[in-house]
Amino acid sequence: MTTYRFKYLLTEEGWKSDALVKVDTEGKILSLTEDQSAIVDHELNVAALPGFQNAHSHSFQYAMAGLAERHSTSSTPDDFWSWREAMYSLALSINPDQLESIARMLYSEMLRHGYTDVAEFHYVHHDKNGSAYENLSEMGERLVKAAADVGLGITLIPIFYQKGGFGKEPTEGQKRFISSDLDAYNRLLDASEKSTELYQHANLSIGIHSMRGVEPAVIKQIAEEGRKDIPFHIHISEQLKEIEDSIAYLGKRPVEWMLDEVEMNERFHLVHATHLTEGETLSLAKTDASVVLCPSTEGNLGDGIFPLRSFQEAGGKWSIGTDSHVGLNPLEELRILDYGQRLISHKRNTYYSQNEGDSGLYAYQKALMSGREAMNNFTTSYFAEGTYLDVALFNLDTPLLSVTNPINLASTILYSTDASHQYGTIAKGKLQVVNGRHVKESEILEDFKNCMKQLANR
């Protein structure tokens, strides 16, 4: 058994002072009380938040973060589609060992920033020639091993990627991604599930790359006939060109088609969904499906701004992700999301409902609950007995936090701190990050440096 005492711990009922948490040898919570006197293993002068959920990640893209900012000076503008070609170049280069090295570094950095779980939207399946590995889930298994090594929970989402666009065959740059038909994808899904069995904090989800990446009739078939016990993730309506192509091919916008053809519920997680009509926004909110927003990546790619205010007002659910990993701080994702809404609405109460007027508390609750659902976790208590202890720890010895009343603490952390204010992270009951450093940082970093020397892309 291990005992932790936090100066403040945020629960669904608000802040608890001198929160004493006992966990068993596996890291599961035995009890949570308020106790100033007990002798504990770890006395932490911190404000502890539930561990952040990263609901959308392409781990290999961490190796190209910051490298797509040198733009052509020709008459052809740089946009998402030119960025995509740079991404394909990297995807065609990495081998399984390199992917594992990149993911270990990335996942340790996620932990450093307070994420305790990640949904890995994984589509680099095959070898460099586009042929299947003997283990169909070789690359996915390396991601599971990376997460296990650093102590991060992972939901592996093997992605069905079939087409090169609406009605188009795959391109050469996509050859490592492709499952030719539903049978091939189901074999990949089965192999991926076996990979998740290697790590107690790994599980599985279904994933469709996009409406343009899989024949729409097959998407409908998977939704109707596929597994119903795991989440369903899909990129959708991220770019205006995607919507134009969808209308030309289907006579409908992507989300419009999903609403008409697929019976969506809380299992469904629509990534980006940037460009929605008012009708799509309201109808999507009523399905109980969630939208996964990745503000730093969406801003970096020039995607656009999701209509969050009207979506929330209609009861819509949302979570956050880091996608291409140009940003890794969950507080930054939440701030960018909020500030984008303030700029287009000219109002400051983005994170607000009739039941909750505290922006910080509202944002944490929304991102946490839908983020958990993205990973097939429907626990509504922040720290239920029998669940694993996951917390992001903020140092109360830092200037602003040291003088802040608990009533202002949630929003002070959200709007006025950065990674330097984070003391550490407990994931699955274990203190994985201490004083801003992962416990395995040195070996992980050395391995990552060697990997990047081999890739020679930076």
Q: CATH number of the domain at 84, please.
A: 3.20.20.140
Angstrom CA distances, 441 to 174, 183, 229, 279, stand at: 33, 41, 36, 48
Helix, strand or coil for residue 54?
strand
- DSSP H or E segment with residue 140: helix 138-150
Single out the residue of 5, 4, 10 nearest to residue 408, CA to CA: 10
Residues sharing a CB contact under 8 Å with residue 292, sequence separation 6 or more, in sequence order = 55, 56, 119, 233, 269, 270, 271, 272, 318, 319, 320, 321, 370, 374
Asked whether residue 455 is assigned to any structural domain, the reply reads: no
- In the prediction, which pLDDT does 86 show? 76
Domain of 417: which CATH number? 2.30.40.10
Amino acid at 376: N
Q: How many CB atoms lie within 10 A of CB 453?
A: 9
Single residue among 340, 357, 374 that ends a domain in this structure: 374
Do 295 and 395 lie in one domain? The reply is: no
Do 256 and 214 lie in one domain? The reply is: yes
- In the prediction, which pLDDT does 77 show? 64
Q: Which residues lie across from 61 on neighbouring strands?
A: none
Rounded CA-CA distance 74/208 in Å is: 35
Query: Vertex 127, ends 123 and 131: CA angle to 5°?
Result: 100
Do 345 and 405 lie in one domain? The reply is: no
Asked whether residue 213 is assigned to any structural domain, the reply reads: yes
Asked whether residue 444 is assigned to any structural domain, the reply reads: no
Are 111 and 432 a contacting pair, CB within 8 Å? Answer: yes
Q: Domain range for residue 42?
A: 2-50+381-436
Do 46 and 56 lie in one domain? The reply is: no
Q: How many CB atoms lie within 10 A of CB 104?
A: 28
Rounded CA-CA distance 242/405 in Å is: 48
Length, in residues, of the chain:
458
- In the prediction, which pLDDT does 356 show? 79
Rounded CA-CA distance 324/113 in Å is: 16
Rounded CA-CA distance 370/385 in Å is: 20
Asked whether residue 103 is assigned to any structural domain, the reply reads: yes
Do 12 and 150 lie in one domain? The reply is: no
E strand map for 398-446 = 422-427, 430-434, 437-438
Single residue among 329, 352, 374 that ends a domain in this structure: 374
Do 258 and 395 lie in one domain? The reply is: no
Q: Which residues lie across from 391 on neighbouring strands?
A: 50, 426
pTM: 0.96
Asked whether residue 16 is assigned to any structural domain, the reply reads: yes
Do 29 and 56 lie in one domain? The reply is: no
Asked whether residue 450 is assigned to any structural domain, the reply reads: no
Q: Which of 125, 272, 325, 421 is catalytic?
A: 272
Asked whether residue 453 is assigned to any structural domain, the reply reads: no
Is the torsion defined by CA of 110, 85, 121, 270 positive or negative?
positive
Q: Give the model confidence (pLDDT) of 229-242 as tens digits.
A: 999 999 999 999 99
Q: How many domains does the chain have?
A: 2
Do 395 and 262 lie in one domain? The reply is: no
Are 176 and 124 a contacting pair, CB within 8 Å? Answer: yes
Do 285 and 186 lie in one domain? The reply is: yes
Q: Give the model confidence (pLDDT) of 303-346 as tens digits.
A: 999 999 999 999 999 999 999 999 999 999 999 999 999 999 99
Single residue among 325, 343, 374 that ends a domain in this structure: 374
Q: Which of 323, 338, 358, 390 is catalytic?
A: 323
Q: Report which DSSP code applies to 173.
A: G
- In the prediction, which pLDDT does 308 show? 97
Do 329 and 207 lie in one domain? The reply is: yes
- In the prediction, which pLDDT does 87 show? 84
Residues sharing a CB contact under 8 Å with residue 264, sequence separation 6 or more, in sequence order = 223, 258, 284, 287, 288, 289
Do 42 and 127 lie in one domain? The reply is: no
- Those residues of the chain that have pLDDT short of 70 are 75-83
Q: How many CB atoms lie within 10 A of CB 309?
A: 18
Asked whether residue 208 is assigned to any structural domain, the reply reads: yes
Are 280 and 314 a contacting pair, CB within 8 Å? Answer: no
Are 294 and 321 a contacting pair, CB within 8 Å? Answer: yes
Write out the two tokens for 306.
Answer: 């999701």
The secondary structure of 286-354, three-state, reads: HCCCEEEECHHHHHHHCCCCCCHHHHHHCCCEEEECCECCCCCCHHHHHHHHHHHHHHHHCCCCCCCCC
Single out the residue of 287, 279, 294, 277 nearest to residue 235, CA to CA: 294
- In the prediction, which pLDDT does 110 show? 98
Q: In this structure, what are the phi and psi dihedrals at residue 7, rounded to the nearest 5 degrees?
A: -55, -45
- In the prediction, which pLDDT does 89 show? 82
Q: Which residues lie across from 44 on neighbouring strands?
A: 6
Rounded CA-CA distance 302/275 in Å is: 12
Mark whether 323 is an active-site residue.
yes
Do 39 and 179 lie in one domain? The reply is: no
